[in-house]
Amino acid sequence: MTTTLEKPQIIAHIQKSLNYTVFESKWIPCSAKFICMGNLARGTGVMQIYEIQHGELQLVKEIEKAKPIKCGTFGATSLQQRHLATGDFDGSLNVWNLEVPDCPVYSVKAHKEIVNSIDGVGGLGIGDGAPEIVTGSRDGTVKVWDPRQKDTPVANMEPVEGETKRDCWTVAFGHAFNNQDRCVCAGYDNGDIKIFDLRNMSLRWETNIKNGVCCVEFDRKDINMNKLVATSLEGRFHVFDMRTQHPTKGFASVSEKAHKSTIWQVRHLPQNRDIFMTTGGAGNLHLWKYEYPAQRSKKDADDVDMGVAGTVNLLQNVTVSTQPISSLDWSPDKQGLCVCSSFDQSVRVLIVTKLNRV
């Protein structure tokens, strides 16, 4: 039995109140800086860069844009350039050089409606192959963009004619372990989860978790698909073992109810893919660890391989806000350091201890 002191502790290190609604906060790679993106009261978009100095947050730069900014990623940029890709309320995808942020280095009207979610791969030394950005929108489409190709997406996943368009809430890259293979996972408001194979340009797998899918994330983008976590509206999340796909049953999964409120996001620890944090609609954070089963696959009655799900253990939980925590980002450089933002118009820097002992 681990005593309370031996368990990881989640410590609120710095808290900063902001004068706008913040939707996303991301660490700037290889720095002690992070960027917050959101919506000012006058209806414009804002990006603020903060640096941690002597236990305080110093505002380094503030950038105002015409449209509110919903989401952002550094996933498709090099460590040298550190360009930020953002999706806004107007359906535009912009890539910014934060040193000279007046005009985007790449801009495209990606969707007819708000860009709900964005992810990048092929940058920061994570994932083989070309740098690509995926966007998911309220217009029901999921599009993959190459910043080197103007105006047209390299892939467009949309409902067929006559099919109802579902609001796409979340997108994530995975399976980018060589130059050819790459997958996109998308989650929708009706509980659908779809995995698109970008190598074969086909739908690889789909399921429905009976509740709006708020966030999906692979435990690692740059490995042969290992695990996928999907979070939903009423406090339940699912962990799918992606190593063994059964022809009819699909992937094995385990589900856990964290609390009654929405799980807004899930983020895996960059230094340990079996540890992840979920953020809740009541201002709470839950730290989890996935334990693998003794055997990850077994034969069914027809001698076909099927996956075996593991178990999920709660390591620690804490309430840091009264409002939903809409975003969380682990520092890629410093284990246990993370930044989270919530709808109480605050950003918080947290330290999670003892992660190397669990």
Supply the pLDDT for residue 249: 92
Tokens standing for residue 47: 């990006």
| 128-156 burial: b if 16+ Cβ within 10 Å, else e | ebbbbbbbbbbbbbbbbbbbeeeeebbbe
pLDDT at 2 over 60: no
C-beta of residue 340 within 8 angstroms of C-beta of residue 347: yes
**For range 16-24, the mean pLDDT:** 97
> Please, is 250 exposed, middle or buried when counting C-beta atoms within 10 Å of its C-beta (0-12, 13-18, 19+)?
middle
Quick: pLDDT tens for 100-154.
999 999 999 999 999 999 999 998 788 888 999 999 999 999 999 999 998 899 9
Look up residue 54 and give its DSSP letter.
T
Q: Closest by alpha carbon to 264, among 203, 323, 348, 331?
A: 323
Task: Look at residue 5 and give its three-state secondary structure.
Answer: helix
Quick: pLDDT tens for 321-336.
999 999 999 999 999 9
C-beta of residue 214 within 8 angstroms of C-beta of residue 233: yes
Beta bridge partners of 298: 306
Q: Please, what sign has the CA dihedral across residues 82, 83, 88, 91?
A: negative
Beta bridge partners of 329: 339
Count of H-run helices and E-run strands, the chain = 0, 30
Confidence tier at 169 by pLDDT (50, 70, 90):
very high
Q: Closest by alpha carbon to 93, among 75, 78, 79, 111?
A: 111
Supply the pLDDT for residue 3: 64
Quick: pLDDT tens for 36-70.
999 999 999 999 999 999 989 999 999 999 999 99
Look up residue 4 and give its DSSP letter.
G
| CA gap 63, 311 in Å, rounded | 44
Residue with structure tokens 């993106």? 37
pLDDT at 5 over 90: no
| CA gap 109, 260 in Å, rounded | 37
pLDDT at 160 over 90: no
